[in-house]
Amino acid sequence: MESIIQLTRETLDRNALVEAVTHASAGGIVIFEGVVRDNARGKQVRYLEYDAYIEMAEEQIRVILAEAKQRWDIERVAVAHRFGRLEIGEASVIIVVATPHRAEAFEACRYIIDTLKTTVPIWKKEVATNGEEWVEG
């Protein structure tokens, strides 16, 4: 089955993503959810603004998933990333990986989120009580 890749301004729907990757032959499902925190490096964060180079982000996520499928026995996988303005507590990214056994689901999910953060062109701006800045690594 085709991997699910979503880049959207809308609220991410965790349950729909889990349902989409659920499969009779997959005994392990791992979910990673990245959520907007109310603080960063000592600052009080009001909200985050994500900017995305959508066409390239999709392609880069495809590259990551192709590599992950080479390394692990992935039955199904979904990656969803939000952009635009996100409030505290809202999910910015959700990754769901379904594999036959649990170990590879954990490993693959970790690989996907760590690689996504370094190669997928999506940026975040922290708008804090004392100013705003694009977070550049």
Partner 1 sequence: MKIRIRYFASIREITGLNEEILTVHEGATVADVRTLLMKRFPGIKPAMERSVCAVNRGYVATEMTLHEDDELVFIPPMGGGCIQES
Q: State the minimum distance, in angstroms, from the CB of residue 51 to partner 1.
A: 5
Cβ distance to partner 1 smaller for residue 92 or 99: 92
Q: State the minimum distance, in angstroms, from the CB of residue 59 to partner 1.
A: 5
Rounded Cα–Cα distance for residues 102 and 112 (Å): 16
- The β-bridge relationship of strands 4-8 and 76-82 is parallel
Please name the residue that has the structure tokens 């694009």.
134
Rounded Cα–Cα distance for residues 132 and 50 (Å): 13
Contacts of 118 (CB under 8 A, 6+ apart): none
Using CB under 8 A as the binding rule, whether residue 136 contacts partner 1 is answered as yes
- The token pair at 48 is 């985050």
Using CB under 8 A as the binding rule, whether residue 79 contacts partner 1 is answered as no
Question: Residue 131 belongs to what H/E stretch?
Answer: strand 131-134
Binding mask 17-56 for partner 1 (x = CB under 8 A): -----------------xx-x--x----------xxx-xx
Among 25, 118, 129, 130, binds partner 1 (CB under 8 A): 118
Using CB under 8 A as the binding rule, whether residue 117 contacts partner 1 is answered as yes
Contact residues toward partner 1 (CB under 8 A) are 34-35, 37, 40, 51-53, 55-56, 59, 92-93, 114, 117-126, 134-137
